[in-house]
Amino acid sequence: MRSRRELTTGHVRTTAQCLGVSERTVWRWLADATTPPAHPGARGDDRFEITPDIRVLPAYWRGNASAVHRELVTRARTAARPGGALLPGGAPQAAAPLLDPVPSLSTFLRALRRDLTAGERVGYRKGPEAARALDVFAKRPRTWRNHVWEADHVQAPLRVVADGDLVHPYVTWFIDCATKAITGVAVTPGPPTRASVLAALRSAIVRTDPYGPFGGLPEHVRFDRGRDFLSRTVTTALTALNADITVLPPYSPHLKGGIENLNHCVETMLFAALPGHTPQQPRRRPDRTPTGPALSFRDFTAELLAWVTWWNTEHRPAALNGATPLQAWQADPTPLNDIPAADVWSFTLEDDGRTRTITSHGVCFRNRDYIADWMTGQAGREVRVRFMPHHTHEIEVCTLHGRRLGTAHLADQATDEQRAALRHARATRARRLRAEAKAAEQLRRDRFAPVTQPTPAHRLDAITVPEAARELAHHHEDDLARLALPDLIPPAPPPPDWATPDTLKARTRPTDSPPTPAQEDTP
């Protein structure tokens, strides 16, 4: 209407009443709409705006808005007075735009809060990973039971007593995304391995006691890029069970929100109430000793399994509209695909692909003999060995066609006292090696003198000439490879009936020429 010269004061008054603003505000909006845009970096008539060339500075200063403002002020002063002092440690002079005039600090901070989102400000200050917490993510549509499972490890922020040592327990579990049911769980005292994943997978699939009623074969399994989940044993087991594997890209926990929410819930609902709980904080070396009595590993496992039962039978997640995971599982009419427990056990064991023979000493596996009573009368039979990773005390022996024959146990197994003495000897050796490595690093470290003025760095490495000569001589004596002279004494000629190449005959000494005294004395 204004461009056609049809706008009147009555129109402006009516618009201001409808929008709840003053008539002056409407006239100012009209003026802003007809004013040509200012060039980048310049200050407008009404307010200062953060332009793309200014956005580089908050990223350079790690979100320090005051430092960015000082950079802009320094840039303006340097342009007004050539040769002026630059800001110490600042960005290159050409990177800071020239503003005329430079806004005040309060105006600049207000523009940052208005023109930059909270995620951008956090990203400048803490990095892109921290900015993801302020992003918005869509929810996956709810499907049916056993359609998609998610798996992960979680470390309990406490230490338990396992065989006399204080260790951090890890929980490995699977969750059904449709019903929020924890289908399988395994607890490991210490860092988990692929054996933890296989044990949790077996408990998730088998529906007989003491597991169930959740279970069956999943259609899809999602997990991150942990090396335990990506191991050949785990992927082979899931492929044999006809499950599609989805490996998520790195640093993307939002793509498996179901298991990540479960990790957060167990932290706040269970771990926080257990003895010895320590909140997540930067790692300290060594770990602080728990102030109170620590739980045993058995008691911790019992507490965790009781909480899993409560989650599946009594907890009512918001996504299930007031139902428990058990009720949602039982109300889903999707048929379940079950396999016998014996087959699950065989599918979740590792096979090195070699054929072995039962001898009078049993089955030799990794230079160890394994025996069992069912091997009586079967010496000479060719078999295959399947085993649980890191569980070297027993193996499963199968036929060449995969039929299980039985379990074999390690022969001549060491006693508990011998294993304790071996652990003590290994720990002593490890402490000695760490101490020696620390002492070597102290010798390798370069120290410099502190200064209060801009002077060249001065190395603090004062040493006398005899000390340097003695240390160099010690290093030369330790390098025995430099003293070795394998070709000093030629070898004796081979017997005449040997087929010896001419090149090797030339390097042997004649039979009738004995070695010289110098050669005899030389080692």
Q: Are 169 and 138 in contact (CB under 8 A)?
A: no
Strand partners, 223: 247
pLDDT (0 to 100) of residue 101 = 86
pTM, entire model = 0.67
Instruction: Enumerate the CATH 3.30.420.10 domain ranges in the chain, comma separated.
Output: 148-281+291-331
The arrangement of secondary structure in 349-410, i.e. its CATH architecture, is Roll (2.30)
Tens digit of pLDDT at every position of the chain (523 positions): 888 888 899 999 999 999 999 999 999 888 877 776 555 444 445 678 888 888 889 988 999 999 999 988 888 888 777 665 566 667 777 778 888 888 999 999 999 999 999 999 999 999 888 888 888 888 888 899 999 999 999 999 999 988 888 889 999 999 999 999 999 999 999 899 888 998 899 889 988 887 878 999 999 999 999 888 998 888 888 888 889 999 999 888 889 989 999 999 999 999 988 888 887 655 555 556 656 688 899 999 999 999 999 999 999 998 899 999 999 999 999 999 888 877 777 777 888 778 999 998 899 998 889 999 888 888 999 999 988 877 778 888 989 887 888 889 888 887 778 778 878 888 888 898 888 888 888 777 777 778 777 878 777 777 788 878 887 777 666 555 566 666 667 777 788 888 887 777 777 766 655 555 444 444 4
DSSP H or E segment with residue 299: helix 297-313
Q: What is the DSSP letter of 221?
A: E
| Kind and range of the H or E run holding 407 | strand 404-410
Q: For residue 385, with 0-12 CB atoms within 10 Å meaning exposed, 13-18 middle and 19 or more buried, which class applies?
A: buried
Amino acid at 174: F
**Contact yes or no for 318/201 (Cβ under 8 A):** no
Please check whether residue 206 is in contact with residue 344, taking contact to mean a CB–CB distance below 8 angstroms. yes
Distance CA 357, CA 348 (A): 23
Sequence-distant (≥ 6) Cβ neighbours of residue 323 within 8 angstroms: 316, 331
Instruction: Supply the pLDDT for residue 82.
Output: 67
Which tokens hold the place of 58? Answer: 């908050």
> Would you give the end-to-end CA distance of the chain in angstroms?
108
Q: What is the pLDDT of residue 436?
A: 84
The full length of the chain comes to 523
Residues 6+ apart with CB under 8 A from 208: 341
Report the half-sphere exposure of 61 (CA within 13 A, side-chain side).
Answer: 24
How high is the pLDDT of residue 150?
A: 95
Measured CA to CA, the distance from residue 31 to residue 49 in angstroms comes to 18
CA distance 359 to 380: 6
Q: Interhelix angle for 52-60 vs 118-126, to 10°?
A: 40
| Residues forming beta bridges with residue 231, ordered by sequence position | none
Q: Which H or E run includes 351?
A: strand 350-357
Q: Are 93 and 79 in contact (CB under 8 A)?
A: no
Q: In the prediction, which pLDDT does 84 show?
A: 57
pLDDT at 521: 47
**Residue 483 has what pLDDT?**
61
pLDDT of residue 307: 95
pLDDT of res. 40: 45
Distance in angstroms (rounded) separating the CA atoms of residues 455 and 21: 64
In this prediction, residue 51 carries a pLDDT of 87
CATH code for 148-281+291-331?
3.30.420.10
Encoded amino acid at 61, one letter: W
d(CA 515, CA 305): 78
Nearest to 144 by CA among 332, 3, 297, 270: 332
d(CA 435, CA 444): 14
Structure tokens at 316: 């009512």
Residue 83 per-residue DSSP state: T
Stretch(es) of the chain classified as CATH 2.30.30: 349-410
